[in-house]
Every structure is written in structure tokens, then in C-alpha cells.
């Protein structure tokens, strides 16, 4: 297309109002009306625009995932998204409306260059251009690039957050540091979604459509906790430290899981810093205390689904603990433990071998019952850490304020109530069988045999449908009465989150 043709298109575009709801006084002006109008200041050249965009991309580099997509898009000679025959699309004003409030959620407005966009829009709409300090092709390039960059940054950060928790928390605790290299403990397996090319392409497809505002609104976080945290951030009474703590938790609310708690009617959430569990079924909430992993054996952050309850389960003692029981025959007998050998089967405690346990040839197993460390019931779900929710043989621990005491599993204060919560139809007969089995004492014998009603006894219960489970880390979280309470950062996750989050917040 000739430079003159671009000039005619631009004139038509610039005299079209781009503000939503404004009447266009020039709507009846035709291209022919400008056929004799010549002004070198207003010659539009797409090659010049693309060259200016390339210069800006080289100067900017990339700091967010969406920036990579912007570079790929404009490096591929794709159509302009905001410059059209109808002018600078009205979607630019829609985007600016959202950017005007971005600081209310703690995000740094400088990430979006809104002031520059507003100034350039005004320049284009008033034709306040020249060939030296305000060349039209440079201004249009700046608008096109900044609008796309800011738009994708905004929708990406609001929908996915800035940080990837798996990258953030899985390089904190060392597992080993030997000749094979440094290895890290996995502390997080949230499997969060991140902005990818498909997401960015869908977002760009909404530009210059009536649905862009609806699309953006649908991407914004909507969880109850998120709303409470944003209100807390803006109440004007927070110290600098309290503000940063709140911002860390707002960021966590943005992390996008395959299933989000607020998208499910029924789910279980365990929050580590508050040592609490919330079992939510619509408007009903069952709350209880929990014990979590100690600082050296942290409970991992994860999302999964509760699938089965085992009543009076056996405990296969983890290798790291089992080796300490070798030779403690009296203790093992008193706690109902035995040795399971892969070749020889069940053996008495005195047959425990340190070398065979470390090599995985033997296991130490604790029988189910009141002395079992897992307590009377365990709630199983798929995960990569061999952790579960379960009862405990040490219920007095729930009276302590500091309850980071386990080897990674979550001990629940009211296991029977949680078991009833899991039942889809609240079957009273099944609930009674669970209660009966949890009360059995294998040491209570009559005539040399345990007194057990086999018709009432139940070993396991399938959870159907499965119930979503979330193990989270919020240091500002629900307290009594549903109000927000600040909790200790027991694993130090706020510190590393704040360090990585600072470039993106105000």
C-alpha cells in the first residue's frame, strides 16, 4: 500500500472519536474530502511503525512471561491490534479504565505505562504531531506496542499472578549436596497454570470487540479471601511490614490451579500458618485445628482430591524414623510394631536389621489401634510426598499454639467429624460403623480373643465423589468468626515471596 494511501487511512482514523459513548462530529466526512490535503507530518508508513516497535522491544527485553509472546507476535509481521481503519480502537479506553484501579490491588502502575498511553492517545486524537519531536509513526508504534504489552501483562498477572510457586519454594531446603550436585527438597506441587501462547492469543482475539471488558472481568480473581485481603490492603492502617505481608497473600490468591476452592461447592482446605482446616460444603463450614510438619520436615503445598478413608490403619514407618527403632525391641513390642521382610514376610521386632531397612529390604510396621501414630483413621489422596490427613495418638498436641510438629503429614483435631463430612449422603448407618471401628481396642479381649462385632466393623470407605483438597500457605487468613488474622510465617515463605514480588508491587 502506498504512503499516500496510509495517509488517507490515518486521517480517516484520527478524526474518528475513540472514546466510548462520544459522538463523532466527523462521522460524515469521507476519504474523498482529504484527497487534496497533503501534510508530510501525517504520512503513515507501516514499515516505519514496525521498525520503531522493534527498537522498543530491543530496549525493553522481557521480564514477564507475556512479554515473550509480544516479542514473538511483532517479530512475525502480524497485523496491528490497536491501529485500524476506525482509528485507535475503543478497547484502548476500556483497558485504561482497568489500569486506573490497578494500584488498589497493590500492583505497580508503572508496569503498564498508562500515563504514556494516555499522552500518546491525546496526541493522536488532536493531531498534535510534527516531523521531529513527535513523529506520527513513532507515536503510533508506541501506542500499538505499549497497549499490547500492557494489556497482556494486566490480564496475565491478574489471572495467574506474577510468581510461580513451584519455582519459588522448591529451591529453599537442600536435600543433599554431594559429588552428584546440589539437590533440593520439593516443598510445593501446586501445578499452577501459567500464561502461555494459547492464553495470549485468546486475549488478543478480544481486542476491538464488544466483549473485551467482559473478558477482562472474567479473568480477575474473585475468591472471598482475595476480596478481604484487597480491602485489608486499602484500609489505610497497615504498617510497611503488614502491607508487604498482605501483598504476599494477595499474590497467592492469584495462583491459578486446575480447580480453585471457590469454584467448588465442597472442598477441604488446610492452611499451614494458621494450623487450621476448613471443610466447606456450600454455606456450611467445619473448622478444626491441625498439626503440620516441623520446620525440618515441612508439610508440602499441594492440591489433590480426597479419595479414601482407612479406619484403624497400619503405619509403615518411614525409613528415616524406622532406623532409629532398630534394637529398641521392648519399645516396638509396646507400640504394636513388627518387621516386614520382603523375602521372609512378618517377623518379630528383634529381627529388625539396620542395613536391610536402609536398603528397602525390610520395613517396620505398626498395627492399627489406639497406639498407632496415625490414630484411628487416615484420609488418603494422591500426592508425590507420601503425606496424608490423619488422626493422632497424641491429641494433647492440639492444645499447643505452635503445632509444627509432624514429619510432614497433617494431623486433624476432629477426625470423626471430618469423616462424616466426607460422606456424600450422610449415611447414618455408615457413620455409625466408622465410629464403632474407631473405638475398637484390640487389647480388650474376652476368652483370649478380641471382642469385635464383624457386622459393624469397617476397614475403609471410598469417598465418592472425590473431594478437592488444598494445602495452602496464607499468613493472613481466616480466624474466628471469619475475620482476617495475621499468623506467623513459620516456614519463612513470606520472605522469599516478598523478595521476588517487589519489582511488581507498589
Q: What is the average pLDDT across 343-366?
A: 95
Domain span at residue 403? 259-313+371-473
- Rounded to whole angstroms, how far apart are CA atoms 389 and 379? 5
Average pLDDT, the chain: 89
Q: What is the average pLDDT across 76-94?
A: 87
pLDDT at 39: 58
Residue 411 contacts residue 291 (beta carbons within 8 Å): yes
Residue 495 lies inside a defined structural domain of this protein: no
Picking from 367, 382, 404, the residue at the C-terminal end of a domain is 367
For the entire predicted model, the pTM comes to 0.87
| Residues 269 and 392 grouped into a single domain | yes
What CATH number is attached to the domain comprising 376?
2.40.440.10
| Residues 285 and 345 grouped into a single domain | no
pLDDT at 19: 44
For residue 410, pLDDT beyond 90: yes
pLDDT at 8: 41
Helix axes 65-75, 46-60, angle to 10 degrees: 150
Residue 64 lies inside a defined structural domain of this protein: yes
pLDDT at 182: 81
Picking from 110, 141, 167, the residue at the C-terminal end of a domain is 167
What's the number of domains the chain is made of? Answer: 3
135 pLDDT band, cuts 50/70/90, is: confident
Q: What is the average pLDDT across 327-337?
A: 94
Residue 487 lies inside a defined structural domain of this protein: no
| Residues 297 and 427 grouped into a single domain | yes
For residue 447, pLDDT beyond 70: no
Could you tell me which residue, 125 or 66, shows the higher pLDDT? 66
Residues forming the active site = 390, 409
| Residues 357 and 446 grouped into a single domain | no
**Backbone Cα Rg of the chain:** 31
| Residues 445 and 332 grouped into a single domain | no
Residue 452 contacts residue 305 (beta carbons within 8 Å): no
- Rounded to whole angstroms, how far apart are CA atoms 61 and 273? 38
| Residues 275 and 154 grouped into a single domain | no
Residue 9 lies inside a defined structural domain of this protein: yes
| Residues 375 and 440 grouped into a single domain | yes
451 pLDDT band, cuts 50/70/90, is: confident
Residue 206 lies inside a defined structural domain of this protein: no
For residue 16, pLDDT beyond 50: no
Q: What is the average pLDDT across 413-419?
A: 97
For residue 105, pLDDT beyond 70: yes
> What is the 3-class SS of 290-337, one letter each residue?
EEEECHHHCCCEEEEEEEEEEECCCEECCHHHHHHHCCCHHHHHHCCE
Picking from 145, 167, 189, the residue at the C-terminal end of a domain is 167
| Residues 380 and 409 grouped into a single domain | yes
Residue 11 lies inside a defined structural domain of this protein: yes
- Between the alpha carbon of residue 484 and those of residues 10, 124, 233, 249, 354, the distances in Å are 54, 47, 12, 12, 49
pLDDT in tens, 453-467: 888 999 999 999 999
For the chain, what is the total number of helices (H) and then of strands (E)?
Answer: 17, 22
Residue 453 lies inside a defined structural domain of this protein: yes
Quote the percentage of the chain above a pLDDT of 70: 89
Residue 484 lies inside a defined structural domain of this protein: no
**C-alpha angle 190/191/196, rounded to 5°?**
140
- Rounded to whole angstroms, how far apart are CA atoms 281 and 426? 12
| Residues 129 and 266 grouped into a single domain | no
| Residues 17 and 76 grouped into a single domain | yes
4 pLDDT band, cuts 50/70/90, is: very low
| Residues 279 and 327 grouped into a single domain | no
Q: How far apart are the first and last CA of the chain?
A: 45
| Residues 132 and 64 grouped into a single domain | yes
Amino acid at each position: 500500500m502506498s504512503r499516500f494511501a496510509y495517509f488517507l487511512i490515518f486521517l480517516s482514523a484520527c478524526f474518528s472519536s475513540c472514546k466510548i459513548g462520544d459522538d463523532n462530529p466527523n462521522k460524515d466526512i469521507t476519504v474523498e474530502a482529504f484527497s487534496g490535503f497533503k501534510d508530510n507530518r501525517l504520512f503513515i508508513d507501516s514499515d516505519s511503525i514496525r521498525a520503531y516497535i522493534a527498537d522498543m522491544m530491543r530496549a525493553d527485553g522481557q521480564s514477564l512471561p507475556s512479554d515473550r509472546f509480544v516479542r514473538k507476535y511483532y517479530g512475525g509481521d502480524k497485523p496491528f491490534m490497536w491501529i485500524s481503519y476506525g482509528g485507535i480502537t475503543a478497547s484502548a479506553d476500556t483497558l485504561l479504565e482497568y489500569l486506573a484501579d490497578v494500584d488498589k490491588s497493590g500492583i505497580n502502575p508503572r508496569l503498564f505505562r498508562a500515563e504514556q498511553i494516555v499522552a500518546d492517545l491525546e496526541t493522536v486524537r488532536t493531531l498534535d504531531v510534527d516531523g521531529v519531536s513527535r513523529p506520527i509513526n513513532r507515536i503510533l508504534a508506541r501506542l500499538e506496542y505499549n497497549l499490547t504489552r500492557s494489556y497482556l501483562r494486566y490480564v496475565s498477572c491478574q489471572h495467574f499472578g506474577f510468581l510461580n510457586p513451584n519455582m519459588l519454594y522448591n529451591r529453599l531446603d537442600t536435600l543433599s549436596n554431594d559429588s552428584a550436585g546440589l539437590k533440593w527438597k520439593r516443598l510445593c506441587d501446586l501445578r499452577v497454570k501459567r500464561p502461555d501462547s494459547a492464553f495470549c492469543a485468546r486475549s488478543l482475539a478480544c481486542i476491538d470487540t464488544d466483549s473485551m471488558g467482559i473478558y477482562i472481568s472474567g479473568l480477575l480473581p474473585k475468591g472471598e479471601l482475595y476480596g478481604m485481603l484487597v480491602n485489608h490492603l486499602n484500609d489505610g492502617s497497615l504498617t510497611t511490614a503488614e502491607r508487604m505481608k498482605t501483598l504476599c497473600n494477595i499474590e497467592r490468591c492469584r495462583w491459578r490451579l486446575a480447580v480453585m476452592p471457590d469454584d467448588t461447592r465442597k472442598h477441604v482446605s488446610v492452611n499451614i500458618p494458621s494450623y487450621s482446616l476448613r471443610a466447606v460444603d456450600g454455606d456450611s463450614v467445619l473448622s478444626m485445628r491441625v498439626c503440620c510438619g516441623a520446620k525440618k520436615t515441612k508439610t508440602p503445598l499441594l492440591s489433590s482430591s480426597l479419595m479414601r478413608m482407612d479406619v484403624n490403619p497400619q503405619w509403615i514407618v518411614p525409613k528415616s524414623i524406622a532406623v532409629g527403632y532398630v534394637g529398641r525391641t521392648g519399645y516396638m513390642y509396646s507400640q504394636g510394631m513388627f518387621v516386614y521382610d520382603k523375602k521372609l514376610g512378618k517377623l518379630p521386632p528383634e529381627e529388625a536389621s539396620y542395613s536391610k531397612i536402609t536398603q528397602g529390604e525390610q520395613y517396620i510396621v505398626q498395627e492399627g489401634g489406639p497406639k498407632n501414630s496415625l490414630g484411628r483413621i487416615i484420609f488418603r489422596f494422591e500426592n508425590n510426598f507420601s503425606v496424608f490427613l490423619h488422626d493422632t495418638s497424641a491429641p494433647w498436641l492440639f492444645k499447643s499454639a505452635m503445632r509444627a510438629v509432624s514429619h510432614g503429614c497433617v494431623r486433624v483435631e476432629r477426625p470423626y467429624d471430618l469423616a462424616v463430612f466426607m460422606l456424600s449422603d450422610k449415611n447414618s448407618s455408615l457413620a455409625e460403623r466408622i465410629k464403632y471401628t474407631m473405638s475398637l481396642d484390640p487389647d480388650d479381649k474376652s476368652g483370649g480373643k478380641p471382642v469385635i462385632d464383624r457386622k459393624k466393623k469397617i476397614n475403609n470407605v471410598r469417598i465418592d465423589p472425590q473431594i478437592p483438597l488444598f494445602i495452602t500457605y496464607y499468613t493472613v487468613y481466616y480466624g474466628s468468626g471469619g475475620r482476617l488474622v495475621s499468623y506467623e510465617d513459620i516456614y519463612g515463605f513470606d520472605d522469599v515471596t516478598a523478595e521476588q514480588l517487589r519489582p511488581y508491587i507498589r
